[in-house]
Every structure is written in structure tokens, then in C-alpha cells.
Amino acid sequence: MRRLICSLAWPCCLALIAGCVGGDGAPDADDSALTFDATKYTTVNVTVDGANVAVRQYRIVYVASPVKMAATQATLGGGTTTLTDPYAYQTMIVSVSEALAEDQKAALYLLVNNSGWWTSAVATTITEGKAFTSTSDTDNIGAALKAGYVVVNVGTRSRGARAADGRWAGKAPAPVVDAKAAIRYLRLNDRLMPGSAERIIMTGTSGGGGLTAAVSASGNSDDYLPFLAEIGAAGVRGTDATAKSTIKDHVFAAVAYCPINNLGNADAGYEWEYAAVRTDANTGALCGVAYSAGPQPAAATAIAASFPAYVGRLNLKLADGSTLTDATLRTTTRALVKEEIERQTAKGTAVPGLSGNFVTSRATLVNDWLTLDGNGVSATVADLDYAKFVHYVAANQALKTVVAFDAVGVTSNKSATTGVWNASGETNLFGSDAYAYSNFTEWSWNHNAAPADGSGQDDTGLSWSDYLASSSNGLATQLKLINPIAYLNTGADTAPYWYVRHGHGRPRHCVWDADAAESCDQKRPPQMKDVSFKFPYLVGHSGNYDVQEAFAWIKAKLDANL
């Protein structure tokens, strides 16, 4: 599970809907450059369950004014890659079987990548000679092709993206804006293209899950129009505050795996959950200094202190009508874990009893937190020690070092011997396009000591609150426009259907209790009709491991809305 805290406050409470449709198949003069050409495709031949399937593929730049990107781009993890297409970050690949090329009702299965919110050039696994299996629990593309869906792979700018002119072109809200622009292209050309843009199933994992959530929660919000206007998105007229729209960007359903959300509160939630269980055994050294011997413990405690007040400000309601607090958040999380364990035993999954072993791909750990009543399909949870459960989670994979998400430029993240700054986290998703990064949380802002990085009080002379309130920067806007919870009950056309999964297996990038907030359903917008939210048993930070369950859910929602 990855940065679950990130999903902290966009409760499964996530409620959502769809809006109108855009164009009539005949774009006006302003959108003429974005007219779909049905004749421009290549054909690839694949097999699905052993049967030959000819697939038409359309490669489309989905905006009228794409940003030309530099040839050399950074990659997640510190490497580089060569971008052969300078517009690959704002390109989609539409794949449809020849048999359905004229089908106007098929669902559009729209995929985004963006691991760790990193920038993502468009790519597809539907390639010549590829074999797919629709009955597999890990082959979502095979299931989509078998179901007769149009598969749409979307590239987007995001953190790390460098334009040809040297600007950092992927700053928030760029990935959300690009995904919305792709959806607008599909709506503009709905009557010219295969499938129905009113039946978009958006899906992604990790940062892609976070992107899916942000787009799906904020459908048709005017907040994005100035940014959409800059790149020539379909249906947007005017600039800045005068921008107006004639086309919609809502989606029908969101399928999000381990979404990284709510980055502005990610560090606070992470440390609130894990600071008390951090040790040298589960937390790595920072800049050559062991966890217990350096500044990490004090930083973790200080960062965690702000979280309870944040939970209170959310004003989320539990099923009994009470307001969610940091204490009841843990109770809610415990209940969700219990629910998942009993779901597994009912399916016949062999869940170890007390003193038995939990076995994952990363570790074999003794069960000292779960007591079952009975065994096999009749087993129920007799007791679940949540404090020990958190220790178990932290033992399964090492925790992120402190600071987990907003690390760059922080004093304690600079090596005393080499002078090198630790550059982990999502810090480079924020700030001016002239700077590589900007701190996006109060603690890191106040502890930034990197000279001339344009971030922190040392460079700006402004406190955190004054900086956020200043009209000279867009950080507050950036934080809002990538955060799904900011758009619940705001008039945005939130998607009506949500399928959200956070695995039990790996805590390094997640916070369990943050997920529990997602189970609160009292803040759902009226248009949010259904939320399927689970903590899959012993599953790590990954997606598309439950394809049969997910696609049965998708089919049920589509069939109910024919």
C-alpha cells in the first residue's frame, strides 16, 4: 500500500456524478484542430483467450496547444530517459477492436499511469502479437477487450517534466488538467469516435490512482478552466478569469488503486500513524545518520502533532452521526480491517490464527495482533489489537524516512559530509515553473535551509501562512486542484461510481488510518451513488490484482445505466 495517508481526506466519502455531453460531432472553428480523423489508424493483431482480434489504434495529440518537451527527461528514481516524441505527455492512444469500430455505446476504459505522481508519456500494452486473457485476475486489458470496451491510454505532464524551453512544465495541476483535456477531446468527438464519452471508466494506480480520484471528484469545475485554456483544451474559450467552457470533463466511474491523495496533509498523517513505532529496524538512516541518532525522531513527533486538528477540521460524519476525530478514525480503520479479514475467511482464504505466520512477498511475520473465533469459512474476528497491527504493518516493509513526502530543502535532509540534499518525495510537483521544487507543507517550509531554491522563509521572507495567502504564487491553488476532497459537495460533477482499493501488504507509502476516513459516507455529494471500498488482505502497493471482481463491478454499474 502506498502513501495511503495521501488519500487521507477524500473519504470514500467520495461522492460523485456525471454531467452533460459536449460536441455534436462537428467541432466549431475554435476546436477544428481537434477534429477526430477516423481514417488515421494503424492495425495491430492480438489474441484474447486464444482468439485473434484485430485492433485499430489511433494516436492523438488531445490539445490544440501542446507543450513541446525536452528530449531528455528525468525518471522516478533519479535516472533519465530520451523522449522520442516531444508531445508524448499530451497524447492518447485509443484502441478498439475492428468489430466495434462503429459502436457508439461501448464504455471507454481510460488509463493513466503517473507512478508517484511522476510525469508519464503515453504508452499501451496492446501491441502486435500480444496475448491477453480475460479470465485472469491480473490482466485488466484482456478483460477490457473481452468486455468490448474502448481502451484509452493517456499521457500527462506531471512532476519532473521539463519543457524544451527549460521550464518545469509538469507542476500541479498539470496532470489533472491534461487528463481533463483528454476527456474533453473524447466528448468533443463523441459522435465521430467509437464508444460513448458518457461511459468513461477512469482508472490508475498509486499516483495514477490519485490522479483518477482528483479528476473524478472535480468534474466540470471552473477552477481548471484557465489552465485548460493555456493548452488549447476542447471547448474552452477565453483566458484566466474570463475562461468559459462548452464541453464537460466529468467521468462515469473511478477505479482507483492505492491512490496518493491529499499531499498537503500527507506528512502529518504519516507521522501521526507511524512516529510511535519507528525504530532503527524499520526506518532507514538519513544522510548517513541512523534514525535514533539523528533529527528524525523529533521531526516525526513535531509533524504528527498537527494531524488531530486537521481531522477535526474535516467535519466528517460517521454512520452514527458523530463527528470523526483522530481517535474514532483509528476505531473506524480497525473496523475496516476486521471487515476485510472476515470477507477473506468467508471466501475460504487461510488466515493464520494467533501465533501463526502471515506470509507476504516481503516478509514472514508472526501474528500477534489477530485472534480468530473458529477457523475456515466460519471464522470471525474475536479480537484485533490495533496497536500491534500498526507494528506489524511497519515491520512488513521499511517506513519512509522523515520527511516522507515534502523532503527537499529540509535542513535534516542534507548530508553533513557530502553537502547533498535528500530529494525524495513529491516536492517537485509544486511551485513555480522556474524552480525545480517548492515545499508544500508548513513544517518543511519552516525548516527549509537550501539556499536560492525559491522555497521557505529563508528565500521568500514569508511565513507559511503569509506565503499561502499571497497572490504572487499559486501554491494554495496547486494544493487544492490535486486534492479530491476539496471538490466534494462543492457543485462539481463528481463521478457517481467509485471502486477504491488499498492493499494491506506494504505501509511504506501509506497510512492506514487515513484510509478509514474514506469509509465515512455522510459527506457524499448527492450524485455519488455507490462506493466500493476495501483493504485487500496482504496485498501490497499495486493495482489490477482483482480484475474479475473489479470488472464485474464495472459491468453492473454500466448495465444499470443503459
The tens digit of pLDDT for each residue in 278-307 reads 999 999 999 889 999 999 999 999 999 999
Is pLDDT above 90 for 503?
no
What burial letters (b/e) apply to 35-45, b meaning 16+ CB within 10 Å?
ebeeeebeebe
Q: What is the pLDDT of residue 27?
A: 56
The CA angle 320-324-328, to the nearest 5 degrees, is 85
Strands (E) located in 181-270: 200-205, 236-237, 244-245, 253-257
Q: What is the pLDDT of residue 232?
A: 97
Question: pLDDT (tens digit, 9 = 90+) per residue, 444-494?
Answer: 999 999 999 999 999 999 999 999 998 788 999 999 999 998 998 889 999
Q: All 3 cell numbers of residue 248? A: 464537460
Residue 237, strand partner residues? 244
For residue 50, the domain's CATH number is 3.40.50.1820
Q: Which of 7-16, 56-65, 328-337 has the lowest mean pLDDT?
A: 7-16
CA–CA dist 504, 512 (Å, integer): 9
Q: What is the pLDDT of residue 541?
A: 85
Is pLDDT above 70 for 258?
yes
- pTM (two decimals): 0.93
Higher local confidence (pLDDT), 404 or 507:
404
Q: Residue 442: inside a domain, yes or no?
A: no
CA–CA dist 6, 206 (Å, integer): 10
Higher local confidence (pLDDT), 477 or 397:
477
User: Could you tell me which of 213, 194, 268, 208 has the C-alpha nearest to residue 38?
Assistant: 194
CA–chain centroid gap for 267, Å, is 16
CA–CA dist 243, 221 (Å, integer): 12
Calculate what percentage of the chain has a pLDDT beyond 90: 75
- Supply the range of the domain harboring residue 104: 17-260+481-495
Q: Residue 27: inside a domain, yes or no?
A: yes
Q: Residue 303: inside a domain, yes or no?
A: no
Per-residue confidence band for 14, with pLDDT thresholds at 50, 70 and 90: very low
Cβ within 8 Å of residue 286, ≥6 positions away: 294, 295, 296, 401, 402, 412, 413, 422
Is pLDDT above 80 for 270?
yes
Q: Into how many domains does the chain fold?
A: 1
User: Could you tell me which of 20, 27, 19, 18 has the C-alpha nearest to residue 189?
Assistant: 27
Q: Residue 321: inside a domain, yes or no?
A: no
The DSSP annotation for 261-322 comes to --GGGHHHHHHHHHGGG--TTTB--BTTB-GGGSSHHHHHHHHHTTHHHHHHHH--B-TTSP
Is pLDDT above 80 for 164?
yes
Question: pLDDT (tens digit, 9 = 90+) per residue, 31-67?
Answer: 999 999 999 999 999 999 999 999 999 999 999 999 9
Q: Residue 445: inside a domain, yes or no?
A: no
Is pLDDT above 70 for 19?
no
Q: Residue 324: inside a domain, yes or no?
A: no
Average pLDDT of the chain to the nearest whole number: 89
